[in-house]
Amino acid sequence: MTSWIISDLHLSAQRPAVTQAFLHWLQTTVAEAKALYILGDFFEVWVGDDVLDDPEHGAEFLPVVQTLSQLSARGVRLYGMHGNRDFLIGQRFAQACGMQLLEDPALLEAGDKRILLTHGDALCTDDVAYQAFRTQVRNPQWQHTFLSQPLGARIAFADQARDQSRQSKAVQSMQIMDVNAEAVAGIIRQYRYPDILLHGHTHRPAIHALYIDGHACQRWVLGDWHDTATVCSLDKSGLKARILDLTRPIKNSAI
């Protein structure tokens, strides 16, 4: 049976076609799968699980929660990891979907292959402003204080953060916003040379060959979801990259 690994869907009410294509893919392809791994930035922004109770802002998420929970009830294993947009996804959302939240990074052992999964933002160590923001917002005390604010205030803070991030990205070099080679080597060493490091975040889909301390390894990067999506399938023949055309009923094509 096949497992699927995806990242950076950035689901939002502003892009209903992506959500529709994702739901269709879940109900067709993923319904027959062993597992689905979502490596972060599932949502464009997530300001707290209580958004699900809000009649105005919660409605867009309900079909996603309902479809995931149906898949989970069918026996498809669902795993989610936080990204820099949805690090506030909590146990309540996960339980409503039948999803297990994974620590970042998480090691996936598949046959004789070891695949290290991560969102990827923690590897962008040259992006000093972002890493300062990340340290702040991943602090449990900061999160507790933030989540204590009314939903409307949290949405306004998230809008401000998005504006600031857009401005900062416009003047930041592409190289600084990419993963740092030493950070990549460090995590590969720490996890004792997995065969593949698989991440999203940078939206630069590619397969990079690496050679760390005499060990051959690959870094696979998933892209974000717009008219197409790069996803990975994993079965007994190994990991494969595929492109989904989201503009028509889902067909899978190998790269």
The two tokens of residue 254 are: 């190998």
Provide the minimum distance between the beta carbon of 200 and Mn ion in the complex, in angstroms, as a whole number: 6
219 contributes a contact to Mn ion by CB under 5 A: no
> Hey, which residues between 89 and 118 contact ligand LP5 (CB under 6 A)?
none
Provide the minimum distance between the beta carbon of 48 and Mn ion in the complex, in angstroms, as a whole number: 18
Closest CA to 31 of 62, 1, 61: 1
> Hey, which residues between 175 and 204 contact Mn ion (CB under 5 A)?
201
How far, in Å, are 33, 131, 236 from residue 2 at the CA level? Answer: 5, 35, 8
160 contributes a contact to ligand LP5 by CB under 6 A: yes
Residue number, nearest CB to ligand LP5: 130
The two tokens of residue 43 are: 């949502």
41 or 127: CB nearest Mn ion:
41
Closest CA to 36 of 71, 86, 73: 71
Residue the block writes with tokens 């689905």: 36
Provide the minimum distance between the beta carbon of 78 and ligand LP5 in the complex, in angstroms, as a whole number: 22
> Hey, which residues between 42 and 81 contact ligand LP5 (CB under 6 A)?
45, 47
Which runs of E-coded beta strand occur in the chain?
Answer: 3-6, 35-38, 77-80, 99-101, 106-110, 113-118, 196-199, 206-212, 215-221, 228-235, 238-245, 252-254
Q: Which of 20, 139, 164, 247 binds ligand LP5 (CB under 6 A)?
A: 164
| Residue 74 binds: one of ligand LP5, Mn ion, none (C-beta under 5 to 8 A by kind) | none
Say whether 91 sits in a helix, a strand or coil: helix
Binding site for ligand LP5 (CB under 6 A): 45, 47, 84-85, 88, 121, 124, 127, 129-130, 133, 137, 157-158, 160-162, 164-165, 168-169, 172, 177
